[in-house]
Structure 1
Amino acid sequence: MRRSMSGRLAVAACSLSLLTALAPAAAAQADGGHDRSYKRVGYFTQWGVYGRDFQVQDLETSGTAGKLTHINYAFGNISAEGRCFTGNVPGEADAWADYVRPLDAANSVDGVADSAEQPLAGNFNQLRELKAKHPGLKVLLSLGGWSWSTHFSDAALTPASRKALVQSCIDLYIKGNLPQDGARGGAGAAAGLFDGIDLDWEWPGSAGDTDTAYRPEDRENFAALVKEFRTQLDAYARSQKRKQKYELTAFVPTAPAKIDAGFDVRRIMRDLDFVNLQGYDFHVSGEPVTAQQSALRARGDFSVAGTVEAWRHRGAPAEKLVMGMPFYGQGWTGVTGGGDGMGRPATGPAPATWAAGYEDYKALKKLADSGRYKVYRDRREGHAWLFDGSTLWTYDDPQVLRTKTEYIRENGLGGAMFWSLDADTADGELMTAVDRGLHGR
């Protein structure tokens, strides 16, 4: 009897060991090949399809799509009446890029050209095709951003205005009831595309863009708005008998003063699935002195670790904190004072491809490889910069990102977020570095 039981236990132990070994792979396969242990959230910019010619298909050809868990589509806008809306309104909405623009076979994820009759084209249709190839991938609509947070404070002001805003966002993006534009759009045209909403109000209770309203009540109203989104998203999921809930996330600031002015941390974290921490723009090229924009640690200055600590100190669970990482750099020119250029006066933002003082990583990599710039590193504080004696660029490269992913693993954080996917190299160098780092490779 003992021998028989011993044998059974040995077989059971062997089977359990085998199942344990296979479980991660099985879970990944069941989820479309995605490892869900860490979130990897990339922002896809609506306007990147123009000058940068960065199409949704590029996420597939670069291998990036298979390494992401979430794509945040940037951005959706709120009208002066407090409603989510879209259309072809210069500077306010771009339905052409979103769902009207036809793509040919060469630029389509599935290799099939869009027809004139289909109700959904543009970026939305390509994201739908990308999800079909990667069933575990989630797409969230990011609402607001620096330029389009204008009407957030007004829209969140009363229970009635919050309810109306959330209803309009769910109708437009979750239910997919897009405005008719010729053959495009219509009821349910984008149904099933978006898996949730990302709130990018910059910033409740604090100054943002020049035309963005803010008021002391924003802190309370933001928490109430989060609750209203959570309530309506859950109710709609139940009505559709959806197995997975719709996700609700937010992009949140690094400065303690902005956190305290706008965010009731313990309260909002109960309703948010996770938050994407600002991990960049600690210093920008408009400042008169060069400085780091995204250091992991920085004594007496803003930093990634300081941001994590600020949110945890206020009650945010570590596993709901997703670290923001820049796929771009901030740059100054006319730097004087010699040395490595850091902490030196400058005459202004450095010339760049799209906007002075702001350059994509793929362009900065070429500068680093050109031999004209020297790469400097502060290994203790975890950041890097390029300097040629006059022009300085502070940025994250694969080596910096490996240090940051180690910090994520050591501190039990929820994962990594990237602004923005169109700034990476054609072979997804930064995305690969983050993915490997999160896997401890």
Structure 2
Amino acid sequence: MKHFTLCVILLLSVTSITSFQNNDNTPSSADFLNYQTTGPKHSKIVIGYFAQWAIYARDFNVIDVEADKLTHVLYAFYNPVYDTSNDSASIQSLDPWADTGHDENNLLSNAAVKGNIGELKILKERNPHLKILISVGGWTKSQHFPEIAASQNARTTFAQSMVDFMTLYPWIDGFDLDWEFPITGGTEGQEKVNGLVIPAQPHTTNDHKNLVFLLKDIRAAFDSNGMQAKELSIAMGNNVTNAASQFIGPNNQAANNMTTNIMDYCNFVTCFGYDFGGNWYDKTCFNAPLFGGDNVNDPLHNPSGRNQVLDELIKLYLIEVGIPANKFVMGVPFYGKIFEGVAATGVDPNNPGLYESECPKNNESSV
């Protein structure tokens, strides 16, 4: 049996508190502007996603990021938009106030660029080792990726939009594509955000190939504009059954009649090491199990194949898809899932409540 060592970790959410604080334990902008770090003392990739909307209810700001513990910050999200009128594409802000409008921490009164993007500039100045990438797409904003990736002109204009963005904000070190998901999966048209229905994720049978072509054109645009040092990455899903058919790497390139693959253009890739299980199932289970799924009552059990667990996903990406271990970043959840009104029939006597059904709540069926 081959053994693989994962050398990289993805921090899903940046929730640590800065060590530079006032006496009342609130962050000090003066200290934030007058320190500099050298970064982690190792060669691993350690990533934190900074959620654009974290500045609101969570009151978590760029000033709160302990960047000395990270190598990369991925800023989520910008919107990939396809224009049917002229077959073009671009990235667009989902919240201009959050991105470039506010000065909540009074750090940017004289700065040309405000908002989170402006604060990220200061963060990078204080942490020269840090790479800052813009993550594009996400769970609710991936609907235009199939159209963009399928069109040569859309791919070209989309890539140019990224180049223009980094020309305007040169402290941005690249982009991350968070397409959820090629070929299959994603939103089903039943969810709402702020009262608006999120459209179902469209798919084409060539999504996985078109993703490679999109990455190729983005990399070409970076290189032809003197941006060879800019980085490019993608986020890959956690569906053990489907993942090998959704992404083309060195080991399944030939089987897909391709002469190139995602790793020819990406500096690294990440995978979802979380949300394997949750309260969308009718029985309790683990969020991100490393092993397991053998109990027939576990929603993550697959009687006809691999169980839906992290060990199986990692082996699939490393072996079947062929992602190099030193460019493979595993997502780690810093959160859990809640099940309420759980039955207690003793399905697993050593773990009361595990693999049990939820009781109906508020006259509604369990999700």
In the alignment, what sits opposite 2:167? 175
- Between the aligned partners of 1:41 and 1:310, the Cα distance in structure 2 is 22
State the Cα distance separating 1:51 from its structure 2 match.
0.5
- Between the aligned partners of 2:185 and 2:104, the Cα distance in structure 1 is 39
Please say which structure displays the higher CA radius of gyration: 1
Give 1:77's match in structure 2, choosing from 76, 79, 97: 79
Structure 1 residues 263-287: Cα deviation after superposition (integer angstroms, max 9, x where no partner): 1122111211111111000012121
State the Cα distance separating 1:31 from its structure 2 match.
8.4
State the Cα distance separating 1:203 from its structure 2 match.
0.4
Structure 1 residues 116-145: Cα deviation after superposition (integer angstroms, max 9, x where no partner): x63211111111111111100110000100
Indicate whether 1:246 and 2:230 are aligned.
Answer: yes
Indicate whether 1:55 and 2:61 are aligned.
Answer: yes
- Between the aligned partners of 2:59 and 2:225, the Cα distance in structure 1 is 36
RMSD: 2.3
- The question of whether the paired residues in 2 share the 8 Å contact of 1:149 and 1:201 is answered with yes
Displaced runs of 4 or more, over 4 A: none
- Between the aligned partners of 1:203 and 1:306, the Cα distance in structure 2 is 19
- The question of whether the paired residues in 1 share the 8 Å contact of 2:238 and 2:271 is answered with yes
State the Cα distance separating 1:36 from its structure 2 match.
4.4
In the alignment, what sits opposite 1:223? 212
In the alignment, what sits opposite 1:100? 101
- Match runs of 1:36-51 below 5 Å: 36-51=42-57
Indicate whether 1:192 and 2:185 are aligned.
Answer: no
State the Cα distance separating 1:79 from its structure 2 match.
1.8
Structure 1 residues 169-220: Cα deviation after superposition (integer angstroms, max 9, x where no partner): 2212x122xxxxxxxxxxxxxx222101111000011131132211101111
The code of the aligned residue for 2:49 comes to Y
In the alignment, what sits opposite 2:39? 33
Structure 1 residues 202-245: Cα deviation after superposition (integer angstroms, max 9, x where no partner): 0011131132211101111011111111211222235xxx7xx1
- The question of whether the paired residues in 1 share the 8 Å contact of 2:238 and 2:273 is answered with yes
- Between the aligned partners of 1:331 and 1:133, the Cα distance in structure 2 is 38
Normalization by structure 2: what TM-score?
Answer: 0.73
- Between the aligned partners of 2:315 and 2:43, the Cα distance in structure 1 is 22
- In structure 2, runs of 5+ residues without a counterpart are 1-35, 190-198, 251-260, 294-300, 302-306
- Between the aligned partners of 1:322 and 1:256, the Cα distance in structure 2 is 16
- Between the aligned partners of 1:349 and 1:295, the Cα distance in structure 2 is 27
- Match runs of 1:113-124 below 5 Å: 113-115=107-109, 118-124=111-117
- Between the aligned partners of 1:128 and 1:139, the Cα distance in structure 2 is 9
- Between the aligned partners of 1:230 and 1:192, the Cα distance in structure 2 is 17
Q: Identity of paired residues, percent?
A: 32
- In structure 1, runs of 5+ residues without a counterpart are 1-29, 88-92, 106-112, 177-190, 351-355, 358-441
In the alignment, what sits opposite 1:284? 278
Indicate whether 1:345 and 2:345 are aligned.
Answer: no
- The question of whether the paired residues in 2 share the 8 Å contact of 1:276 and 1:324 is answered with yes
State the Cα distance separating 1:55 from its structure 2 match.
0.7
- The question of whether the paired residues in 2 share the 8 Å contact of 1:237 and 1:246 is answered with no
Structure 1 residues 26-61: Cα deviation after superposition (integer angstroms, max 9, x where no partner): xxxx982333411110100001110011111111xx
Normalized per residue, which structure has more helix? 1
- Match runs of 1:258-407 below 5 Å: 258-266=242-250, 267-299=261-293, 300=301, 301-314=307-320, 315-337=322-344, 339-347=351-359
- The question of whether the paired residues in 2 share the 8 Å contact of 1:34 and 1:137 is answered with no
Indicate whether 1:203 and 2:181 are aligned.
Answer: yes
| Count of equivalent residues | 286
> After the TM superposition, which of the residue ranges 336-345 and 131-140 deviates more from structure 2?
336-345
Q: Classify the secondary structure of the residue corresponding to 1:83.
A: strand
Q: Classify the secondary structure of the residue corresponding to 2:41.
A: coil
The code of the aligned residue for 2:326 comes to E
- Between the aligned partners of 1:233 and 1:248, the Cα distance in structure 2 is 9
Q: Classify the secondary structure of the residue corresponding to 1:32.
A: coil
Structure 1 residues 402-434: Cα deviation after superposition (integer angstroms, max 9, x where no partner): xxxxxxxxxxxxxxxxxxxxxxxxxxxxxxxxx
- The question of whether the paired residues in 2 share the 8 Å contact of 1:331 and 1:349 is answered with no
- Between the aligned partners of 1:52 and 1:271, the Cα distance in structure 2 is 35
- The question of whether the paired residues in 2 share the 8 Å contact of 1:42 and 1:68 is answered with yes
Structure 1 residues 157-176: Cα deviation after superposition (integer angstroms, max 9, x where no partner): 1222211111112212x122
Q: Classify the secondary structure of the residue corresponding to 1:237.
A: coil
Closer, same or farther: CA 348–137 of 1 in aligned 2, 3 Å: farther
The code of the aligned residue for 1:346 comes to E
